[in-house]
Amino acid sequence: MISRFSQKKLYTIILALLAVFCIGTSSAHAAKSKIPSLYLGYVFTTHHTPLMVAAIKGQDFKTSGAYLEEMVPKQKYKLMSAEGEPLAVLNFIVSKSGSETSTLFAMNRLDLGLASSTAFMSGIDKGTKIKILCPLHVDGMSMVFPADSKVTGYNDVAAAIKSSKNPFKIGYHSPTSAPRVVFEGALHKAGFKITGNPNDADADILMVDLKSTSNLIPALLGKQVDCWVGPAPHPAVAEYKHVGHIGLDSRDLPPAGEWIDFPCCVMGASEQMITEQPEVVQAMADLMTSASDWSNKNKIKTAEISAKWIGVPAVAVEKSTIIYTTDPTQNWMNGEAVFLSMLNSMNKFKGVLKDADIKTATPLLYDFTFVEKSLKK
């Protein structure tokens, strides 16, 4: 028989084991229920307006399948399901450019990102494990000259380049930015000799890296460049402030018609994010699809939201020709093929995308499975 002392000791051991089991179960449940804290990069440009609209409008997008709940304005949001369940905490990270976004992905500092497709292409070529999930918009790129310039249209631009005694200096804000690639690629295709070397006096055009969109207007006013190419809203803001003149929009580049509804910015994610958090990726695809549609249908309200968020005049933003879309149409893919071809012809790729055509590059660059589901809703 077991003595009273032994029984008491046995009960104590059993209670201790039960306590350990309960604590372990509770801890496991807590770990399972804890939502991930993720990092999303974007740039202060109206090209990324759907994200700003989604953040401001909050539960208005509940029917899309997901919405954002504000935690810290412009900095931290809960990504919620339509049923009100938290899926993730999204920490918004502001990048200076798509190039910086690509670098942050390479450093494993971002899970999701909004940037130019050319920036994603550059990153993927270098071996960064990321994928483009969907477009964000088309158009929204311009070439800006001094305010008193009379240059209007491609013929005037070509004449200004040809008449310049020294290489014509064109500024850009990021090496992998869509405006830089589009304008440089089109001018290269038109037969102009282009260089990034300031000592190359034989070139027709000298491309000048201004490092950030904040340097675009100062570089023009300081005559560091003859003009610059940049994303909306910066060209419209330059005109509004009477410190610049839009001489050419990307859609008017030669050959005529080739640059209309041309790709620019996209949403992408790390391959790890796609594999480990597919429900979060799907929710973001749903949300960006609905926010893009709302932005197109409510241009004045959209302009007010993005203008206040970025800190620019709403009247300047209202003039934007941007069309927001997450649909990777065949026409959009044709534009992506042009990007790929131009970057290769300009010898920008050194890795997996070197000499690749769009058919070969598609599985390396894109994962449209999430947005395809969003577009069917």
| pLDDT value of position 4 | 47
- How far apart, in Å, are the Cα atoms of 319 and each of 18, 152, 259, 315, 316? 68, 17, 19, 7, 6
The rounded radius of gyration (Å) of the Cα atoms in the chain is 25
Query: How confident is the prediction along the chain (377 residues), in pLDDT tens digits per residue?
Result: 445 445 555 455 444 444 444 444 333 333 345 899 999 999 999 999 999 999 999 999 999 999 999 999 999 999 999 999 999 999 999 998 999 999 999 999 999 999 999 999 999 999 999 999 999 999 999 999 999 999 999 999 999 999 999 999 999 999 888 999 999 999 999 999 999 999 999 999 999 999 999 999 999 999 999 999 999 999 999 999 999 999 999 999 998 888 888 999 999 999 999 999 999 999 999 999 999 999 999 999 999 999 999 999 999 898 788 999 999 999 999 999 999 998 998 899 999 999 999 999 999 999 999 999 999 98
End-to-end CA distance of the chain: 71
Residue 13 corresponds to which amino acid? I
d(CA 109, CA 272): 12
Q: Which amino acid, 49? A: T
Looking at residue 26, its pLDDT comes to 37
Contact at 8 Å (CB) between 180 and 172?
yes
HEC secondary structure over the chain: CCCHHHHHHHHHHHHHHHHHHHHHHHHHHHHHHCCCEEEEEEECCHHHHHHHHHHHHHHHHHHHCEEEEEEECCCEEEEEECCCCEEEEEEEEEECCHHHHHHHHHCCCCCEEEEEHHHHHHHHHCCCCEEEEEECEECCEEEEECCCCCCCCHHHHHHHHHHCCCCEEEEECCCCCHHHHHHHHHHHHCCCCEECCCCCCCCCEEEEECCCHHHHHHHHHCCCCCEEEEECCHHHHHHHCCCCEEEEEHHHCCCCCCCCCCECEEEEEEHHHHHHCHHHHHHHHHHHHHHHHHHHHCHHHHHHHHHHHHCCCHHHHCCCCCEECCCCCHHHHHHHHHHHHHHHHCCCCCCCCCCCCHHHHHHHHECCHHHHHHHHC
Q: Are 117 and 264 in contact (CB under 8 A)?
A: yes
The model's pTM = 0.84
pLDDT the model gives residue 251: 92
Q: Strand pairing of 86-95 and 76-81? A: antiparallel
Neighbours of 5 (CB within 10 A): 8
CA 4 remoteness from chain centre? 72
Check residue 377 and give its pLDDT: 86
52 burial type by CB count under 10 A (0-12 exposed, 13-18 middle, 19+ buried): buried
Residue of 79, 98, 41 lying closest to 285 (CA atoms) = 79
Task: For 224, list phi and psi in degrees, rounded to 5.
Answer: -70, -30
What does the alpha-carbon distance between residue 241 and residue 226 come to, in Å, rounded to a whole number?
18
Calculate the dihedral angle through the C-alpha atoms of 62, 68, 69, 75, rounding to the nearest 10 degrees.
-170
Q: What residues are paired with 130 via a beta bridge?
A: 270
Query: Which residues does 317 contact at the CB level (< 8 Å), separation at least 6?
Result: 46, 232, 233, 236, 303, 306, 307
C-alpha to C-alpha distance for 248 and 244, rounded to whole angstroms: 12
Peptide bond into 255 cis (omega under 30): yes
| Total residues found in the chain within this entry | 377
